Amino acid sequence: GTCAFMVHRALHRMHVRDQDGNVHVETPFGTVDSTEDPAEAARNVGVDLYPGATVAKNGSANMTIGSMHTATVELDTSDSPSAVNDFYKSKFPNATVVSAQGNHYSIMSGDKNDMTTINIDSRDGKTRIHIAKITGKMMGTSSN
């Protein structure tokens, strides 16, 4: 019963605003924003977007929960996955993880309080780029 009451209260305190393709959702737990504007998506993830790539439909989110902030963007380009990988490897020369398996590439850079991941792969005849940035105190981490 208590769980149902808490969900009921949360739903009634949730506010959604949709303006020109930009959606803002405010909940008691935090906020979620989405955009199809490449400039705003780039600002949110703090990473240069691949030249000529377009933001995929519903491909951008910006979320804050407590002290943790997550921003993601998905991009599409007609360039090869290896060309995209070369571009991002040059942007993150000190990446902690760089892997390649066929046409799938992953780059991970940062530390426990500021992490950026970039995944690149082929999808439907295009190259899909997924960039995620997490900042602030990560859930499940301790200060030890």
* C-alpha to C-alpha distance for 132 and 55, rounded to whole angstroms: 13
User: Is 131:45 a contact under the CB 8 Å cutoff?
Assistant: yes
Q: Which stretches of 30-67 are assigned E, i.e. beta strand? A: 30-34, 54-65
User: Tell me, what's the pLDDT at 42?
Assistant: 73
Provide the pLDDT confidence category of residue 21 given band limits of 50, 70 and 90.
low
User: Tell me, what's the pLDDT at 116?
Assistant: 92
Amino acid (one-letter) located at 103 = N
Nearest to 38 by CA among 69, 19, 59: 59
**Tokens matching residue 119:** 């995944």
The helix/strand/coil state of 106 is strand
- How many of the other CB atoms lie within 10 Å of CB of 27? 14
Q: What is the pLDDT of residues 100-141, one digit of tens each?
A: 999 999 999 988 788 999 999 998 899 999 999 888 865 454
* C-alpha to C-alpha distance for 99 and 107, rounded to whole angstroms: 7
Amino acid (one-letter) located at 94 = N
Say what the pTM is: 0.72
Name every residue whose Cβ is closer than 8 Å to that of residue 106 and which is 6 or more positions away in sequence. 97, 98, 99, 100, 117, 118, 119, 120
Going from the C-alpha of 116 to that of each of 15, 98, 128, the distances in angstroms are 29, 12, 17
Residue 142: pLDDT above 60? no
Q: What is the pLDDT of residues 25-77, one digit of tens each?
A: 676 666 666 666 667 767 778 888 999 998 887 777 777 777 777 888 899 99
Q: What is the pLDDT of residues 65-94, one digit of tens each?
A: 777 778 888 999 999 999 999 999 999 999
User: Is 76:126 a contact under the CB 8 Å cutoff?
Assistant: yes
User: Tell me, what's the pLDDT at 20?
Assistant: 66
